[in-house]
Chain A
Amino acid sequence: MNVSSSCVALWHTATPQTPALLAVSPAFDTPLGEGFPAGALSLRDPFRWKLDTTSASTGLTQLLDDATKLAALKACETACDTVREEGNKVPFGVYVSSVSEVALAAASRAAFLYVPGEVCRQADVLDACVKAGLPVALERGPFLPPSDMVRASQKLAGLDVLLVDAGGVNGYADRVVDPRGLWILKETGSPFGLHLGEALAPQGAQYEWKPRWLEDARFVRPLVLTARALGACAYVFPFEGNAGLNVFWEALQEARQETVR
């Protein structure tokens, strides 16, 4: 996909050997901490766009006004200032799910926009992203055939677009990563990557009768090896600073060091 000269580029330098790494913070204002992976980008959700199992969003029964959203964006900036690599601030991106959120994010220091899968076909949001001119990570909706990502990404013509596969629906509260789908994303010519967190534990997924074996970090390694073999050049993964859930990062590091025969 051709990036317009007037648009900012971020993903085009990523390769399978030197992938872009998007580390998702548990809360939008969580400081990065000294353990934040060198070279990684921070991904945050200042607008609390989706209902999930936490009270942080299920208890948030009011609309956030622009002032509150701007304050949240500022908190993202401050959080990303806690770690300085070579004197530079850690770039961060934000989840956006509406036209107004795109505009607010574009006016902040956000380096990229992340369009979640459920929103990937909303024409007005994608148009707003085009106007903003920032790089976009466009996540494939779990209900969307991989081939439809070509059509979704056409709505972002001229931007630097990273296509993100977060797995597809595999029954209730479950996802499956389909190598055929990754190959289709490769054939689009756009950089593409894998959301390890969503693929293994979809956010907000809830189903009483589902065995919980899929929330298992031992699948990170085979997924990364598969994605890398197919040409993936980006990974999105949950990261909680120095402590907590860093198994994704550890598994990702090991897989990256393995030689693909």
Chain B
Amino acid sequence: MKTSGSETKSLGTPKVFGTGGAWDGVLAPGVQLGRVKPVVMAGPCMFESWELGLEVGRAMKAQCEALGFSYVFKSSYDKANRTSKGTERGPGLQQGLEWLARIREELGVPVLTDVHSPEQAREAGAVVDVVQIPAFLCEQRELLVAAAATGKVVQVKKGQHASPEQVLRVARFLEACGNPRVILCERGTSLGYNNLVFDPRNLLEMAREGHAVCFDGTHAAQLPGAGQGVSSGLRHVIPALVRAAVAVGVDAVFLEVHTDPDNALSDAATQLPLTMASEILERIARLVSH
């Protein structure tokens, strides 16, 4: 492995995360966060069907194994904050958690999902390995308390409206709640109406107190609400954004992947087809190997 300056990075030397190094960055046995090989969190935006989840999960797992990345399956059981009333929300809590548990068992990979209420946090926390706080709700106190109480890894999406310091405060709060297993996730910041910008400085700011940082490449390319009642996006910029984030340094990347994105029930404009997701992973594999 090449050295970078006077520092030698070794896959066998875990970094410690969190304030005071309270966490070793292990998401599950054999799955550890780190900049040398960022963990890949990938899956469909909405868990539309068992078949979709399984196909995407299998493909992503295979690709990650081939390239030496650790893999976490992600999908949402409830899109609780759709732009428009009446749009599809997903299979619901019970069915979604059942499917996530099956994915975990059949593919042998950790799973991640987002929660929108303390009650959901409690139920999901019993099933998944990573509980995710949605961006809009990243400062909602009771949701954070409940997520921390699960004892699972908590990934916080930085709100589009929030500064990096605000999510650092969230991380400190989760630690104060007794859970140091925190990942802060950059997913783009509001840039006028219906637009987002990826500010690479945030990756440094969010990491400055030792917390693990993830980059959400698909949501950072969104054009919120620009699609006449749905969000639109710029899928073609996602590879470049992800490469940029990995070059700056992240401990994980987050991608939404679908077998037929143009006909997806949510985030159709930014979910990645399997081929594109594979190409992105191949590019970042080459990037981190140098």
Quick one: which of A144-160 are within 8 Å of B by CB?
144-148, 151, 154-155
Contact with A along B89-131 (1 / 0, CB 8 A): 1000000000000000000000000001110000000000000
CB distance from B147 to the nearest CB of A (A): 11
> Which of these, A53, A58, A155, contacts B176 with CB under 8 Å?
A58
B145 and A62 contacting across the interface, CB-CB below 8 Å = yes
Residues of chain A contacted by B159 (CB below 8 angstroms): 118, 143
Is A221 interfacial (CB 8 A cutoff)?
no
A173 and B136 contacting across the interface, CB-CB below 8 Å = no
Contact with A along B147-166 (1 / 0, CB 8 A): 01100000000011111111
Is A49 interfacial (CB 8 A cutoff)?
yes
B142 and A63 contacting across the interface, CB-CB below 8 Å = yes
Residues of chain B contacted by A145 (CB below 8 angstroms): 193-194, 224-225
User: For chain A, what secondary structure do more than half of its interface residues adopt (helix, strand, loop), or is it mixed?
Assistant: loop
Is A25 interfacial (CB 8 A cutoff)?
no
Contact with B along A98-141 (1 / 0, CB 8 A): 11000000000000000000110111100000000000000001
Is B82 interfacial (CB 8 A cutoff)?
yes
Residues of chain B contacted by A42 (CB below 8 angstroms): none
A121 and B163 contacting across the interface, CB-CB below 8 Å = no
B177 and A122 contacting across the interface, CB-CB below 8 Å = no
CB distance from B237 to the nearest CB of A (A): 20
Is B63 interfacial (CB 8 A cutoff)?
no
CB distance from B253 to the nearest CB of A (A): 23
Is B139 interfacial (CB 8 A cutoff)?
yes
Residues of chain B contacted by A210 (CB below 8 angstroms): 163
B136 and A118 contacting across the interface, CB-CB below 8 Å = yes
Number of interface residues of B (CB under 8 A): 43
Query: For the complex, what is the distance from the CA of A58 to the CA of B165, rounded to whole Å?
Result: 14
Is A44 interfacial (CB 8 A cutoff)?
no
Residues of chain B contacted by A144 (CB below 8 angstroms): 224-225
Contact with B along A29-72 (1 / 0, CB 8 A): 00000000000000000011111110001111111100000000
Is B14 interfacial (CB 8 A cutoff)?
no
A205 and B166 contacting across the interface, CB-CB below 8 Å = yes
Query: For the complex, what is the distance from the CA of A154 to the CA of B83, rounded to whole Å?
Result: 11
Is B229 interfacial (CB 8 A cutoff)?
yes
- The residue on A at minimum CB distance from B168 is A206
CB contact under 8 A between A61 and B165, given known A51-B141, A97-B140: no
Is B137 interfacial (CB 8 A cutoff)?
yes
B166 and A50 contacting across the interface, CB-CB below 8 Å = no
> Which of these, B82, B117, B161, B164, contacts A121 with CB under 8 Å?
B82
Is A85 interfacial (CB 8 A cutoff)?
no
Is B285 interfacial (CB 8 A cutoff)?
no
CB contact under 8 A between A98 and B142, given known A124-B80, A145-B225: yes
CB contact under 8 A between A205 and B81, given known A48-B141, A50-B139, A51-B139: no
Quick one: which of A204-237 are within 8 Å of B by CB?
204-208, 210
CB distance from B151 to the nearest CB of A (A): 14
CB contact under 8 A between A60 and B141, given known A98-B117, A99-B117, A143-B190: yes
Could you jot down 24 A-B contacts, CB within 8 Å?
Answer: A50-B139, A51-B170, A51-B173, A52-B139, A53-B169, A57-B141, A59-B176, A61-B176, A63-B145, A63-B146, A118-B140, A119-B137, A123-B81, A124-B116, A141-B136, A141-B161, A142-B161, A144-B225, A145-B193, A145-B225, A169-B161, A172-B164, A173-B163, A204-B166
B residues contacting A by CB (< 8 A) are 80-85, 89, 116-118, 136-137, 139-142, 144-146, 148-149, 159-166, 169-170, 172-173, 176-178, 189-190, 193-194, 224-225, 229
A residues contacting B by CB (< 8 A) are 47-53, 57-64, 97-99, 118-119, 121-124, 141-148, 151, 154-155, 168-169, 172-173, 204-208, 210
Per CB-CB distance, the 6 closest pairs between chain A and chain B, nearest first, are: A172-B163, A169-B190, A145-B193, A121-B81, A207-B163, A143-B160
